[in-house]
Amino acid sequence: MKKLLSLLSIFAIVLSCSSDETSTPVTPPAPIVKYTITLSAGEGGTVSTTGGEYEAGQTVSVTATPQGEYVFTSWSDGNTNATRTITISSNSTLTANFEKKKYPLTVNIEGEGEVLEEIVNAGRTTDYDSGTTVKLTAQPEDEWLFTGWSGDIGDIDTTENPIQLNIIESKTVTATFEKKKYPLTVNIEGEGIVEEVVIAQGKTTDYSSGSVLELTAKPSDGWSFVEWQGDLTGTDNPKQITIDKAKTVKAIFILSPLSLNNSTVEYEEIHPFLTEPVLNSKRQINVIVLNYIPSKDNGYTVDQNTFPFRDDSGNYDPKLKVKDFKKWILGETIRVKKGIEEGSIFRGYKTNNDPYIGIKVIKYINIYKIPKTERSLSQERFALDSTEAYYPDYHKLFEDLKIKELVENENVKEIWFNRKSLSVPESNMSSPTSGDISNLYYEQGYQFNNDYENTDLPIYDRTYVVYSHWLHNSYDFTLHVRGHQIERQMSYFEDGNFLWGKFKGFNIGENGRERGCGTVHYPVNATSGYQYNNSSSVLSDIENWLPDNSGEQTLINSDSWKRDITISTSMPIWNDYKSETNRSIIGNDPQGGWMIYWFQSIPGDILIPFNKDGENYKLSNWWNLFYDWDDAIKENRKQWE
């Protein structure tokens, strides 16, 4: 077998050697060249083929397709055709690039302000790619306000600030700003109007911030403008105001006082309580009220230099308004009226009788400028307490006010002269029948002796009395003044004060206290003057007084005359400048209570027996003696009949 293989090999070699010498040579085929191409997609898309191994010269078509909110941008070799044909010539790697769609966000602005744009949540790219959430914050400039969004904001509340927008499409948003607007409140006190004229304003209307207005106060007929109050002050008219915040302005108008020959006065509407005599009263007494309120601006502010008026706490207001001071005057005047009427109820402290006297005020006049006389020596002394220690010139004043006609034709019996200053007697009578029977000589503790010629009143055909009410005091002092006038007039009757002297008894003698009803200064239990709050009890017949001293005696002290007497009126009067607890009550204070109690002891329309020289009489109505002065003097009336 081995020999057979060897022979075959030798045969093959021989054949091979002979073949080379006789055949044509053959060229081998060119080798096949292949290349690998890798195709891929970046984020946001796909490619139609990922490539592979291709022979050189072959072509490959590929398409880059974006996904969702992406767009194709280019291949990594810079080619920008999404679909391309690639000729294979080398190994290569190509990537299709994609990016998020971009949308414009247009932010418009109306007014003055800016909108801050802040990306809250973006994709992997920036510049408001699709799907970016943008926060918009409206920031107004000074004196401007953001009022709302408009445009492509979807369901977002238009006034929400800031807002967030999802940018998935082109959007336009407008932020609106408006100039701040402030209310201008114009109040009016008195009667008149205020015209508002816009002088300059900002970019918007309706009193926007920065607007300048001119206010013109126009009083109604019979009224005067005096000043601005609130956020605009002063007396200039017209006057400009700049609206840079909410403002309130008040225009003050007052009734224009009358400028008469010698006086400046105001006739005021009379409070209903003063025009109505108390119910069931038997006799009406007509009264004129004169309020002297010194004022340098025609009745707007009180001239406090004449004598400072202070409130209950002792506070002094240098710019005290007349309207506030008038409340105090009205309140006290009403209390005086009630005190007089209540005092005319005979023994009203223990009976339910009707008042005998009903007061009716027929004129209520405020005086801001008054004619005055020159100071006398006594007035100079009084000037230590007041810088206006003058007597009023009653002749000139009463001529201006036509007092003569009121006394003679309207049966005016009394003039209540409420005064803040001036040196004036507590009471002053003008009588054609008896002369002056009054408490003329005393004022605030000073005695004027015979230096009172300048206080003389004009004498008319009827008697009248001027009561001076010192306005710094309360109603009880005014009743005190009236009590002295009663003492003066009643002392004038009946041979040296025989019966009146019995009524006034109060002195302590060897046999104890005399019977009687006391006096203005001395309550029945007093051991010295002005003891209105004396709680010591004494036996007295004041509540049962009889002229022969036979009246029953009871224990009496200050509790006997202090009681609550209510003033009822349909119009409020108790919100006074000078506040006081329970202003609608009188009689519960020591002096006021005593004066009313003492008045109620004066014999009125009753029958009180009186024996004189063995003859039986009855006491007359002493209120008629007091008020029917002219007839009482002419007819020689007495305190009994």
Please give the tally of structural domains in the chain: 5
Looking at the structure, do residues 173 and 282 belong to the same domain, yes or no?
no
Looking at the structure, do residues 356 and 504 belong to the same domain, yes or no?
no
Residue of 411, 414, 393, 412 whose CA lies nearest to 458: 393
Distance CA 214, CA 212 (A): 7
Write out the two tokens for 558.
Answer: 């200050």
Looking at the structure, do residues 237 and 119 belong to the same domain, yes or no?
no
Q: Which of 55, 72, 100 is the last residue of a domain?
A: 100
Looking at the structure, do residues 476 and 520 belong to the same domain, yes or no?
no
Contact between 464 and 412 under an 8 Å Cβ cutoff? The reply is yes
Looking at the structure, do residues 418 and 293 belong to the same domain, yes or no?
yes
User: Tens digits of per-residue pLDDT, 538-595?
Assistant: 889 999 999 888 889 999 999 999 999 988 866 555 444 444 445 788 999 999 999 9
User: Tens digits of per-residue pLDDT, 187-237?
Assistant: 888 888 888 776 554 433 356 777 888 889 998 888 889 889 899 999 999
Q: Which of 559, 578, 608 is the last residue of a domain?
A: 559
Q: Looking at the domain assignment, is residue 545 inside a domain?
A: yes
Looking at the structure, do residues 111 and 232 belong to the same domain, yes or no?
no
Looking at the structure, do residues 164 and 87 belong to the same domain, yes or no?
no
Distance CA 535, CA 291 (A): 37
Residue of 270, 267, 273, 225 whose CA lies nearest to 249: 225
Residue 339 predicted with pLDDT over 50: yes
Q: Looking at the domain assignment, is residue 18 inside a domain?
A: no
For residues 25 and 390, the model is more confident at 390
For residues 482 and 169, the model is more confident at 482
Print the domain residue range for 39.
34-100
* Per-residue confidence (pLDDT) for residue 127, from 0 to 100: 56
Looking at the structure, do residues 294 and 408 belong to the same domain, yes or no?
yes
Write out the two tokens for 550.
Answer: 């036979």
382 SS3 class: helix
Looking at the structure, do residues 303 and 351 belong to the same domain, yes or no?
yes
Distance CA 349, CA 347 (A): 5
Q: Looking at the domain assignment, is residue 316 inside a domain?
A: yes
Q: Looking at the domain assignment, is residue 20 inside a domain?
A: no
Lowest mean pLDDT among 111-120, 149-158, 180-189, 358-367: 111-120
Contact between 50 and 40 under an 8 Å Cβ cutoff? The reply is yes
Q: Percent of the chain having pLDDT more than 90?
A: 48
Looking at the structure, do residues 212 and 72 belong to the same domain, yes or no?
no
User: Tens digits of per-residue pLDDT, 263-313?
Assistant: 999 999 999 999 999 999 999 999 999 999 999 998 999 999 888 888 767
Distance between alpha carbon 119 and the CA centroid of its chain, in Å? 52
Q: Which of 143, 162, 179 is the last residue of a domain?
A: 179
Report the relative pairing of strands 283-292 and 412-419 from DSSP bridges. parallel
Contact between 106 and 134 under an 8 Å Cβ cutoff? The reply is no
For residues 343 and 127, the model is more confident at 343
Write out the two tokens for 166.
Answer: 């999802």
Q: Looking at the domain assignment, is residue 10 inside a domain?
A: no
| Strand ranges in 42-131 using DSSP code E only, listed in sequence order | 45-47, 51-55, 59-66, 70-75, 83-87, 92-100, 105-110, 113-121
Q: How does residue 69 score in pLDDT terms, banded at 50, 70 and 90?
A: confident
Looking at the structure, do residues 463 and 593 belong to the same domain, yes or no?
yes
Write out the two tokens for 528.
Answer: 């010295």
104 SS3 class: coil
Q: Looking at the domain assignment, is residue 27 inside a domain?
A: no
Contact between 94 and 69 under an 8 Å Cβ cutoff? The reply is no
Q: How does residue 118 score in pLDDT terms, banded at 50, 70 and 90?
A: low
Looking at the structure, do residues 300 and 348 belong to the same domain, yes or no?
yes
